[in-house]
Amino acid sequence: MANKIAEMFDAELINIEAPKYEIGVTGLVNAAMSFQDHEVEITPQTIDFAKYNKIYLGSPIWFYRPSPSIWKFAENNRFDGKDVVFFNSYNSNYGQNYIDEFKSLVMKHDAKSFEHKAIIRGRMGSQLSTEEFLNEVTTLFAEN
């Protein structure tokens, strides 16, 4: 999703790495055990957003909420005067209360605006194909 958005806007893509949640069995177990934890090691910790007008932040939805990595990133960074677009894909649902809480955190760090965009990918066995998913991303972000 992030790659497609970056491609659409010819934008720089900066990955937030969290070794604790690397793809694989160990990462999956760690994610299931710590989905509410905001104390996670991430790289980079901070980014200077001075040269950007709009910031796109992406996160998977884990147990109805954004992942711990994006919470930690938002806690560590300033969004002074920036338009922030938060995007997700999810399997079944997300808790709007968690999105609202995340918005409050971003706005507390002086973002000018906050917008949430999400795509339901579907549960295992009935997920959108990659092509269908990327078409949804293109449609959702066409007006940005």
Segments making up each domain of the chain, as ranges: 2-141
pLDDT of residue 97: 97
63 confidence band (pLDDT: 50, 70, 90): confident
pLDDT digits (tens, 9 = 90+) for 65-74: 898 889 999 9
Q: Provide mean pLDDT across the span 79-87.
A: 98
Q: Which residues contact 88 (CB under 8 A, 6 or more apart)?
A: 58, 59, 60, 61, 66, 94, 116, 117, 118, 119
pTM for this model (two decimals): 0.87
The DSSP secondary structure of 51-91, one letter per residue, reads T-SEEEEE--EETTEE-HHHHHHHHH---TT-EEEEEEEES
pLDDT digits (tens, 9 = 90+) for 13-33: 999 887 665 665 555 555 555
pLDDT digits (tens, 9 = 90+) for 84-113: 999 999 988 999 999 999 999 999 999 999
- The CATH superfamily assigned to 2-141 is Flavodoxin domain (3.40.50.360)
